[in-house]
Amino acid sequence: MRILEAAEEVFGSEGLSVPIDDIAERAGVGVGTIYRHFPTKETLFEAIVLRHFERLVDEARRRGAAEDAAGALFGFLGELVAEAVDKRDLADALAGAGIDVKATAGGLKQDMEAAIEHLLVRAQREGTIRPDVSVADLMGLVGGSCMTAERFGGSAGSPGRMLAVVCDGLRRTD
């Protein structure tokens, strides 16, 4: 939807205090159209967050049928990290505005964890991933990789590099 794309772009580059008029202009619609779909700025923020979660859940589910289970898992984790890095400005803006992403996307967060768990269990059954790793372990490692890379910076600490190290550690070696 053009409104969500425009809002995400504007919020990410200019912050959440940007007037709705600017979003309407960028989307090529009238302000009234935005307010008909999103009565408050908060509902617009929430729609952006939900859209991202829905896309990620759909992608994880799509990968769930891949022949190479470990490749599907690692590919999705790479996409998850890339999305987190790419949307960092938007996430910071939402957090700064007091938007509780966990509350907004609670049900979708559970759907995502279930889809990731499906990918993980398939890879474990395939014998390529350590059997002692849980989805909670996985989420903590991926989240920690993003935060560590952001904190220390540099190419050696890039999120992609950190994820590669995590994925190597997940592989079954016996």
Query: Which residue ranges form the domains of the chain, and what is each CATH number?
Result: 1-39 (1.10.10.60), 53-170 (1.10.357.10)
Please give the Cα distance from 149 to 144 (Å, whole number).
Answer: 8
pLDDT score, position 33: 94
Please give the Cα distance from 42 to 167 (Å, whole number).
Answer: 37
In this structure, what are the phi and psi dihedrals at residue 8, rounded to the nearest 5 degrees? Answer: -60, -45
H helix count then E strand count, the chain:
10, 0
pLDDT score, position 91: 63
- The DSSP symbol for 120 reads H
Per-residue pLDDT of 66-101, as tens digits, reads: 999 999 999 999 988 888 777 666 666 666 666 666
Are 24 and 30 spatial neighbours (Cβ–Cβ below 8 Å)? yes
Q: How sure is the predictor about 132, in pLDDT bands with cuts at 50, 70 and 90?
A: very high
Q: What is this structure's pTM? A: 0.80
Per-residue pLDDT of 8-48, as tens digits, reads: 888 878 877 889 999 999 999 999 999 999 998 878 888 88
Q: Which amino acid is at 123?
A: A
